[in-house]
């Protein structure tokens, strides 16, 4: 097994920068609802939902990347690689309040799987970053959902 190095400073910066749409979407939805602009709140929640679905789908691609490093790719890596997209797509078809909850749960499911897989693939050094990103992204999805329930 090849050990994969810890995330570089650039990877840390880019990963955290990828949280900006989550933070902006949740903040705008909350602010718009508090300001009495439900239409803007709904638009912000829909944008948050769309970005969240893209990110959940992206998490599946990680497994295909790991599989491509192998001479005989593990079927489990290839199989799991499509599951996040199959979770994200129906989230887009739900109202934002429910879709954002599905995405928050999907982010944690992906983290749980990645925790096991990254350790097995020698990439456990990335788990700290994955935990940070999952925590912030799922909290933003939860806040966006709560705003839409209000």
Q: Per-residue pLDDT tens for 16-25?
A: 999 999 999 9
pLDDT range class, residue 102, cuts 50, 70, 90? very high
Q: Is the pLDDT of residue 98 over 90?
A: yes
Q: Please give the Cα distance from 88 to 59 (Å, whole number).
A: 11
> Which residue is listed with tokens 């990645």?
114
- Is 5 a domain residue? no
Mean pLDDT of 137-146: 98
State the pLDDT at residue 1: 64
- Is 16 a domain residue? yes
- Smallest Cα–Cα separation from 32: which of 22, 20, 42? 42
Per the structure, the count of domains in the chain is 1
- Is 82 a domain residue? yes
In this prediction the pTM is: 0.95
Q: Please give the Cα distance from 28 to 44 (Å, whole number).
A: 6
- Is 2 a domain residue? no
State the pLDDT at residue 2: 75
pLDDT range class, residue 3, cuts 50, 70, 90? confident
Domain that holds residue 120: 10-149
Q: Is the pLDDT of residue 143 over 90?
A: yes
């Amino acid at each position: 097994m090849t050990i994969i190095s810890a995330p570089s400073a650039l990877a840390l910066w880019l990963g955290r920068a990828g949280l900006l749409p989550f933070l902006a979407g949740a903040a705008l939805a909350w602010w718009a609802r508090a300001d009495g602009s439900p239409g803007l709140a709904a638009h912000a929640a829909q944008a948050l939902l769309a970005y969240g679905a893209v990110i959940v789908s992206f998490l599946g691609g990680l497994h295909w990347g790991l599989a491509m490093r192998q001479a005989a790719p593990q079927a489990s890596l290839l199989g799991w690689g499509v599951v996040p997209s199959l979770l994200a797509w129906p989230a887009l078809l739900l109202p934002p309040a429910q879709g954002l909850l599905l995405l928050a749960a999907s982010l944690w499911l992906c983290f749980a799987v990645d925790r096991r897989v990254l350790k097995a693939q020698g990439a456990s050094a990335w788990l700290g970053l994955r935990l940070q990103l999952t925590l912030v992204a799922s909290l933003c999805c939860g806040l966006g959902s709560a705003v839409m329930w209000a």
